[in-house]
Amino acid sequence: MRNGDTRDERTVSVENSSYRWGYIVLAYGILASAAYRGLLRHESSWDLFALVIASGVVTTLYQARLRVLSRRWAVAAVAAIALAALLAAGIGLIR
């Protein structure tokens, strides 16, 4: 940072928003790459799925450690996990 530069709330908000968009692009890009590898090239893509899952676990643990997660968030997370498990089981039965 140069002398005289100040970081106000707007600057921090814009930076955090840019990190969020970057993470979204990266996560969905990795998922698209995993889908391409799995569906079209018939290659294993667990390493890419593991990266997406690990990034979510890291952010969740960080937020949990700083106690910013709500009960509503926990209910939504459990519902998402249950839905994902049901979809995985359904896909497994179809194949």
Residue-wise pLDDT tens digits, 63-72: 889 888 888 9
Amino acid 4: pLDDT: 55
Summarize the confidence of residues 38-63 as an average pLDDT.
90
- Judged by phi (left if over 0) then psi (alpha if -120 to 50, else beta), residue 42 lies in left
Angle at 1 between CA 10 and CA 18, to 5 degrees: 40
Q: So where are the chain's domains?
A: 9-69
pLDDT at 8 over 80: yes
Binned at pLDDT 50, 70 and 90, residue 12 comes out as confident
